[in-house]
Structure 1
C-alpha cells in the first residue's frame, strides 16, 4: 500500500466522518466498510494487498490501547466477574456450539471437517464493539450494557488468538488436540501478557512525572502501546492482553494522581485523533479485502450461520449471567439480548481470517469466503440494528 493510497483513504474517512450526521442509525464503520467494497472495483485501490501483519502489528495495538486507557477502572472492577466469564469460558463455549452448528449446516453445501468447523467458529467469536459502544451509551441512561460489551471485547481478543492458534495447528498441520497442552499454553500466554502489562503500565504511569511537556507524555504513550505489544509477542505472551492491561493500569493510575496534572487530557488530545484515523483505514481496508472473498458464495448459508451465531451467543450470555446472583435481577432477558446483539465481529476476526489464508496457501477458500461473509453481515446488520434495539429494550 503506497503513501498516496493511504492519504486518499484517510481523506475518504474524513469525508465520511464529517458528513455522517446519523451515526446512531448508520454507524461510521458500516459506511466505511461499504465504501471499501465499492473502492475494490476501482483499479487504483484494487491493487491494495491487506496482510494479517498490517492488521495485527499496525492497527490493533493503537486501537486496543485507546479502548483500554479510556475504559473506566471502576466499571472493570464492578463487572469483572461477568466480563471474565464471557471473554474466556463464554468465548470457548460459543466456539464449541457454533462449530457444531457449522459442521452440521455447512456440510450440506460443501465438505467440511469438524476441525475446520471449529476453526471457523473460533474466528467468528471475538467481538469488536467499536461501532456500537457509543450508541449504547447514547441510547440508554444505564451504562452497564456498554461497559460489559466494551470490557469483554478487550479481553476476549487475547483468548481468541490462543484458541485460533491451537485449532489452526490441528486443521492445517493435522496436529492432535491435548486439553492440558491447550490450557497450559493459554495460561502461559495470558498470565504472561497480563503481568507484563501491569508492570510496564505502572512504570509508564510513573514515568510521566519526569516531564510535564505534553508532547513527551504522548510520545511515551505511543512507545507503551506499540512497544509492549511487540515485546509481549517476542516473549511468547499475548500482545493483546499486555497492551490492554497496560492501558487499564495507566487509566487506574491517572485516576489516583493529582487531577491538576491533566495527564489523561494530554493523551486524549493525541489518541482522539489517531483512533478515527486508524478506524477509517482499517474498515476501508476490510471492505476492499472482503470483496475478494464474496464473489461466489452461498449467501443462504452465510445468513443461516450468522443467525445461528447470534442465537448461540445469546444462549452463552444468558447462561453466564445466571452464575452471578446480582446479575439475575440486574439484567433480564432483554439486556441479555442486547449484549448478544452487540457482539459484532470486526478487526480481530479479519486478522484471524487473513492469518488462516496465509497458512492455507490457497486451500480452504470456501471456509474463508463463508467466514468473511458472516463478518460482513455482522458488521452491517448488527451495527445498524443496535440503536433501535437499544431504544426498544432499555428504557
Structure 2
C-alpha cells in the first residue's frame, strides 16, 4: 500500500490542481512524525523489545553511525567522478539516507512472509534509528551551514547532549503518562492525554535543542511496558487509545505517502542521466554499507547470531529491509530549505531519487526475497 500511494502521488503531481503543490519539512516533521512514531512505539511489543534490546539498540546507534560513515565515504568517492562534494556534505547526505522507515517497513515486512525475529528487529531498530538519524543530521547540517570542518570530538559532544536530552524528556513524559492513565476512566480524556504526551514531549525536546523523535519513541515504549505489566488492568485504556490511533495512524501515513509522491516529482531531474546514475550507485552503496555493518556486528557478537535460524538469510533480509522513506524525505526537505551551497539542487535530486529507488525497489522486493531465501534454506536443510 505505501508504494501504491507514493506512485499515485507522483501521478497526481501532473494534474494542474497539484502542479504547484508544496509541503514544508516543518509540516511533516512537527505534525506527522510525532503521531506516527508514538503509535508505532506504544504498539511495539515490550517483550520483543526486551528480548532483542541489545541488537536493536546497537544497530540503531553504533550501527547507524558506522553505516553513515561507510556510506558517506562511498558518496565522497563517487561524487568525485560527477559533482565533487566535501566530506561534511557527503556525511550529511549519508545521514539523510541511513534511517529505515518504521511506517513503510512495519507495514510491508509483517505481510511479507519474513521470519518473526527479522520483523521484530527491523521494527525496533527503525523506531530508535529515526531519532538517531535526526541527531546525526542536525549536527552535520550545522557544520555545513557554518562551513566548519568535520570534527569528531564536537560531533560526539553534540550527539551525546541531543540524544540524552531527548531520552530524558521521553522518560519523564512516559512516566507521567503511565501514572496518569489511572486518574480518569473517561476515554476522551485518556486519548487527549496520549496526544499531549506524544506531541508535548516532542515539542519540549525540540525547544531545548534535544531530540523530539527520541523523546516520543521513549515515551511510547514506556507506555508499551506499562501495558505489558498490567495487561488486564490496562486493557480498557489500550482499547480507548486504539480506537483513536488506529484511525489516525493510517490516515496520517496515507496522506504522508501521497505528499511524498507529489513532492518527489519536483526533485527528480529527468533531463540529466548523470544524476540518475549517481543516485543508483548511491542506492547500491547504501545497501552494501548496511550489509557490511550488520554482518560485522553479528560476527563480533556470537550470541546474536543464535537469534536467527538461518544466519545468512536473516542478514540478507535485514539488509534489504532497510528501506528509506518518511524520515529521509523529511530530512531532504529540511536540507533543501537550509542549504546554500554549490550544487545543492543536484545534491537534493540525487538524494530524492535514491530514496525513491529504495522505497520502490526494496519495498517491492521484500516479499519475493523472503520467499526465495525460505526456499534456499529448505533446500539446504
Query: Which TM-score band applies after superposition, normalised by the shorter structure?
Result: over 0.9
Structure 1 vs Structure 2 CA RMSD: 1.7
Aligned counterpart in structure 2 of residue 321 of structure 1, from 265, 276, 298: 298
| Map 1:274-293 → 2, pairs under 5 A | 274-293=248-267
TM-aligned CA deviation for residue 266 of structure 1:
1.2
> Are the counterparts in 2 of residues 127 and 156 from structure 1 also a CA contact under 8 Å?
yes
Cα distance between partner residues in 2 of 1:391 and 1:137: 13
> Are the counterparts in 1 of residues 113 and 367 from structure 2 also a CA contact under 8 Å?
no
TM-aligned CA deviation for residue 67 of structure 1:
0.5
> Are the counterparts in 1 of residues 42 and 224 from structure 2 also a CA contact under 8 Å?
yes
> Are the counterparts in 1 of residues 139 and 158 from structure 2 also a CA contact under 8 Å?
no
TM-aligned CA deviation for residue 361 of structure 1:
4.5
SS in 1 for 2:181: helix
Cα distance between partner residues in 1 of 2:239 and 2:166: 27
Cα distance between partner residues in 2 of 1:325 and 1:225: 37
Q: Does residue 307 in structure 1 map to residue 252 in structure 2? A: no
- Residue equivalent to 1:4: none
> Are the counterparts in 1 of residues 100 and 130 from structure 2 also a CA contact under 8 Å?
yes
- Residue equivalent to 2:124: 151
TM-aligned CA deviation for residue 172 of structure 1:
2.6
- Residue equivalent to 1:340: 319
> Are the counterparts in 2 of residues 202 and 253 from structure 1 also a CA contact under 8 Å?
no
TM-aligned CA deviation for residue 286 of structure 1:
0.8
| Map 1:1-395 → 2, pairs under 5 A | 28-140=1-113, 142-257=115-230, 259-260=232-233, 261-295=235-269, 296-297=271-272, 298-331=275-308, 332-361=311-340, 363=342, 364-394=344-374
Q: Report the TM-score, using the length of structure 2 for normalisation.
A: 0.92
Cα distance between partner residues in 1 of 2:29 and 2:105: 22
Indicate how the Cα distance of structure 1 residues 258 and 319 shifts in structure 2: closer, same or farther if over 3 A, else same: closer
Cα distance between partner residues in 1 of 2:77 and 2:9: 33
Cα distance between partner residues in 1 of 2:172 and 2:77: 46
Which blocks of at least 5 consecutive residues in structure 1 are unaligned?
Answer: 1-27
Q: Which moved more, 1:265-274 or 1:322-331?
A: 322-331
Q: Which moved more, 1:367-376 or 1:89-98?
A: 89-98
Q: Which moved more, 1:291-300 or 1:307-316?
A: 291-300
TM-aligned CA deviation for residue 362 of structure 1:
7.7
TM-aligned CA deviation for residue 106 of structure 1:
2.4
Q: Which moved more, 1:114-123 or 1:241-250?
A: 114-123
Deviations 1:222-254 (A, max 9, x none): 111111100111122110010000001011112
Q: Report the TM-score, using the length of structure 1 for normalisation.
A: 0.89
Q: Which moved more, 1:241-250 or 1:358-367?
A: 358-367
- Residue equivalent to 1:15: none
Q: Which moved more, 1:238-247 or 1:101-110?
A: 101-110
Q: Which moved more, 1:300-309 or 1:67-76?
A: 300-309
Cα distance between partner residues in 2 of 1:123 and 1:141: 26
TM-aligned CA deviation for residue 120 of structure 1:
0.8
Cα distance between partner residues in 1 of 2:351 and 2:114: 35
Cα distance between partner residues in 1 of 2:2 and 2:277: 24
Cα distance between partner residues in 2 of 1:247 and 1:300: 40
Count of equivalent residues = 368
Deviations 1:111-131 (A, max 9, x none): 322222221111101110423
